[in-house]
Amino acid sequence: MSQDFSYQISPPVLSQGSDRDLGLESTLQELSMYDFQVELSCTAMEVARIFEKYPLLPGAILREQGKFIGMISRRRLLEFWIRPYGKELFFREPLAMLYSYVKIPILQLPETTPILTAMQLTLRRSPELVAEPVVVETAPDSYKLLDISELNLVSWQIRGIETQVRYERSQTQMIQNDKMASLGRLVDGVAHEILDPVSFIWGNLTYVSSYSQDLLKLIAAYDRELSPTSNYISNFKEEIEFDFLEEDLSKALASIRTGAERLKKLVTSLQNFCHIDEVYPKPGDLHACLDSIVLLINSRIQGEIEIVKNYGHLPPVYCFMGQLSQVFMNLFTESIDNLLNEVVRHQLHPENANFKEKPRIEITTKIISQVAVKEQAPDSRWVCICIADNGLGMSLDLQQQIIESFSTEKRVDKATSLAVSYRIITAKHGGKLNLRSQLGKGTEFEILLPLL
C-alpha cells in the first residue's frame, strides 16, 4: 500500500507580480514567483509527479519539520535520475537521501533586491549553476522560487528601458548644451555691445574730470581778476548754487567712474561665465574666476549673507575655465539657497531663530600635498578650493542621496546640479569633489584639482 504524502507537499502556487510598470529600480517582489514547499521525508517519486503535472515549475523549496533546508531544482532532479540506476536506487526513497547527493550552493536573496542586481549576482555563479532558480526570501522563514528565465527576460526588458533612458538623457543633454552654447554666444555679444559704450564713458571720464577742474580754476581766476564781481554774476552764482556745484562736481565724477568700473567688471564677469571652453585645458586664474562668480551672485545675497575670502597663493591652473565657473556657481547657489531659506524662516518666526551669527559663506584656497591625499603619488600636489557656509547643515540621509547621485552606477531620474558639478570635476579635470556637513554647524564643499 502506498503512503499518502499529500500533507507533506503544498500545491504549487504561482504568485502574480506587481501591476505597475517595471523600472530601473524595480525589485524581485514585483516578479511572479513559485511557492512549492516539500518535506524531506516525502519520496522523490511524489515530487516527480508534481513536476510532471506542472511542467513550468523550476524546483521545490525543501523543509524538515517545517524548517527551511534548501532547494532542489527540476533540472538537478532529472539529471540525477538519468544516471545509471539513479531512478531505481532513489525513486521510492525519502527525498532527504537524494538531496544529500544533489545538494549544491543556492543563491538566496531578499525580495527587496533590485532586479538588475539579482541578475548580476546570478551571472557571477559558476557555469553549472547559472540555470538554477533563485530562492527569494519574502518574509522571515518564508521562501519562494524565481525561475531564472523569468529573471533573464525581465532584466533584458529593463536593460532596454535603461538604454532608452540613457539615449533620451544624451539627447536632452545635447539639446541643453546647444542651448547653453547659443545663449553663451548671445550673452557674450550683448556684453560686448555693453562694453563698447562703457569703455567710451570710462575713457572720456579722465578728460571730463581734467576739463572740469580746469574750468573751475578759470572761474576762480576770473573772480580774482574782476574783483569786485558784478551783481549779475554774484546773483547767477547764487542761483546755480555755485559753491555746492564746485564741491559736488568732483564727487559726481568719482561716482560715475565707480559705476562705470563696476559695470565693466560685471559685464566682464558675465563674459567669463558664458565663455565656451576649447578642446584642451588652458592655464587660468581661479581667484579671478571666483571673484567673477561672487560679483554675479551679489544681486541675490543683497547684504543678507557675508562673503569671506581666504585666498592662498595659487599658480595658474590648467582647466576648462567655463566649466569650472559653472561648478562654482552651482556650489554657491546651493549654499545661498540654504542660507536664504533660513533667513526667511528667521524673519517669519524670530522666536525659532537658529542663526547665532550672520549667515556667512567662506571661500578658502590653498595648495595641499600628498599628506592630505594619501592614495596619490608622493610628489603630487593639489589645488584645494573650499566653499563652506554656517547654515543648518544636511542630514545624513540627504548627504547619502547627494553622494549616490554622484555615482554613475546609481540610476536617477534626472541629473542634479551637484551631480553635474561632480562629473565636471572628476571626469573633465581628474579631480575630486568632497561633501562634508553636520547638522547645526554648516556644509562644506571641497574641490581638489591636480596641479601639474
pLDDT tens per residue across span 67-76? 888 888 888 8
How far apart CA 93 and CA 82 sit, in angstroms, is 16
Question: Which position has the higher pLDDT, 176 or 282?
Answer: 282
How many CA within 13 A on the CB side of residue 260? 18
What is the rounded distance in angstroms from the CA atom of residue 338 to the CA atom of residue 434?
18
Grid cell digits, residue 19? 501591476
Length of the chain as a residue count:
452
* pLDDT (0 to 100) of residue 2: 45
Cα separation, 297 vs 309, in Å, equals 15
- The answer to whether the CB of 449 falls within 8 A of the CB of 319 is yes
Residue 22, Cα to own-chain centre: how many angstroms?
24
The model's pTM is 0.53
Q: Report helix, strand or coil for 16.
A: coil
367-418 pLDDT, tens digit per residue, is 988 554 445 445 578 999 999 998 888 888 888 888 877 765 554 445 577 8
Answer for the pair 382, 451: CB distance below 8 angstroms, yes or no. yes
Residue 329's contacts (CB-CB under 8 Å, 6 or more residues apart) are 273, 293, 296, 297
The upper half-sphere exposure of residue 194, i.e. CA atoms within 13 Å in the direction of its Cβ, equals: 18
Query: What local confidence, expressed as pLDDT, does residue 7 receive?
Result: 47
Tell me if 331 sits within 8 A of 345, measured CB to CB.
Answer: no
> What is the spatial distance between Cα 158 and Cα 179, in angstroms, rounded to a whole number?
31
State the Cα–Cα distance between residues 29 and 137, nearest whole angstrom: 9
Rounded to the nearest integer, the mean pLDDT of the chain is 79
Residue 22 cell numbers, joined: 517595471
Q: Are strands 37-39 and 59-64 parallel, antiparallel or unpaired?
A: parallel
Q: What is the pLDDT of residues 100-156, one digit of tens each?
A: 877 788 889 998 898 888 888 888 888 888 888 999 988 888 899 999 888 888 888
